[in-house]
């Protein structure tokens, strides 16, 4: 089954758009800026797990609803901020109603909120016949959050700076993924506050260069500078990693600042067997999915036309969500 991430207009006039999660296959913190943000080097990829957003441009007043109780429903919501930012940029004053059907766990390092904001920007740009270039959308996204630019871009990419520098990463081979959310959220700010650059293993900052030589051996190159800090505070992360490894995962890693952990599998049947075995832990949410890799990508490293990139996403199978 092919899933399209294109926005669609429903008969009622609402815009429907899917909002994929992301994982960090590699995450190295390169420094701290004077403004308090951290520079990073990361290899990011979207996965076939997504929220669904419905956007109503005929709303009587601006507001948001969501199926998850921990998502803010006031002006601090990043999806609402995205709508306001976009409409202001194109000089339109209009009330917007947004509803989010939440599947991506909250506070898990999967970029759910940032992806919601990116989806709103993409959907509104589609609806108004593309008044903003990709560069303009990414600039808007950066003003909302560090992960938003990548989740607008949505192709495998090496991400640097504070998230604003994106370079397409071609040739990444797909993997089946068993993603586990251990049932608790982690504050990104909390983890970064505890992160000590002096303790970073500097040899790992060059690991990402090895991907260029052999992209089929990513399991041995998985790295996350934030994992040890998060697992020290939340030891259950190590329990999740051990469970995945015991079921034959070829590589395991915490994504982002946590708490979700993913395991990579070469074939679906092995991933499904692992999922069935681990699902006996009633406190964990399991998601059986895969990487989202664009087909027919150019090897030039140059960004293709934005809409053609979106149309070329062809995940190999839908997510299987197991509670």
Identify whether the C-beta of residue 292 lies closer than 8 Å to the C-beta of residue 111: no
| C-alpha triplet 241, 155, 217: angle, nearest 5° | 45
> Is 307 exposed, middle or buried, given 0-12, 13-18 or 19+ CB atoms closer than 10 A?
middle
Concerning whether 225 is annotated as a catalytic residue, the answer is no
| 97 token code pair | 């109603």
Whether cis (ω within 30° of 0) applies to the bond prior to 259 is yes
Identify whether the C-beta of residue 99 lies closer than 8 Å to the C-beta of residue 65: yes
Q: Bridge-partner residues for 264, per DSSP?
A: 177, 251
* CA-based end-to-end distance of the chain: 22
Concerning whether 22 is annotated as a catalytic residue, the answer is yes
Tell how strand 261-265 and strand 176-181 pair up.
antiparallel
Identify whether the C-beta of residue 122 lies closer than 8 Å to the C-beta of residue 137: yes
Set 51, 147, 225, 290: catalytic member: 147
Q: Which residues are catalytic?
A: 22, 147
């Amino acid at each position: 089954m092919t899933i399209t991430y294109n926005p669609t207009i429903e008969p009622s006039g609402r815009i429907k758009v899917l909002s994929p999660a992301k994982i960090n296959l590699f995450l190295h913190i390169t420094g701290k800026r004077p403004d308090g943000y951290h520079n990073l080097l990361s290899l990011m990829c979207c996965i076939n797990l997504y929220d669904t957003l419905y956007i109503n441009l005929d709303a009587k007043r601006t507001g948001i609803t969501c199926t998850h109780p921990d998502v803010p429903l006031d002006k601090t919501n990043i999806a609402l901020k995205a709508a306001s930012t976009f409409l202001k940029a194109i000089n339109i004053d209009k009330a917007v109603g947004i509803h989010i059907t939440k599947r991506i766990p909250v506070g898990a390092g999967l970029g759910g909120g940032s992806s919601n904001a990116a989806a709103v920007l993409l959907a509104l740009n589609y609806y108004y016949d593309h008044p903003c270039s990709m560069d303009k959308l990414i600039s808007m996204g950066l003003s909302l959050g560090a992960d938003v630019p990548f989740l607008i871009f949505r192709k495998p990419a090496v991400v640097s700076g504070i998230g604003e520098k994106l370079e397409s990463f071609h040739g990444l081979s797909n993997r089946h993924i068993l993603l586990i959310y251990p049932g608790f959220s982690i504050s990104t700010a909390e983890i970064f506050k505890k992160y000590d650059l002096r303790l970073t293993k500097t040899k790992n900052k060059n690991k990402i260069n090895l991907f260029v030589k052999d992209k089929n051996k990513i399991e041995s190159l998985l790295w996350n500078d934030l994992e040890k800090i998060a697992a020290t505070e939340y030891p259950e992360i190590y329990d999740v990693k051990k469970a995945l490894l015991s079921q034959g995962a070829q590589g395991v890693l915490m994504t982002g600042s946590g708490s979700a952990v993913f395991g990579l599998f070469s074939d679906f049947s092995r991933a499904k067997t692992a999922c069935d075995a681990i699902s006996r832990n009633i406190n964990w949410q399991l998601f059986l999915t895969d990487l989202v890799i664009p087909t027919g990508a150019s090897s030039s490293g140059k960004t293709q036309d934005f809409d053609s990139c979106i149309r070329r996403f062809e995940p190999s199978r839908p997510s299987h969500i197991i509670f």
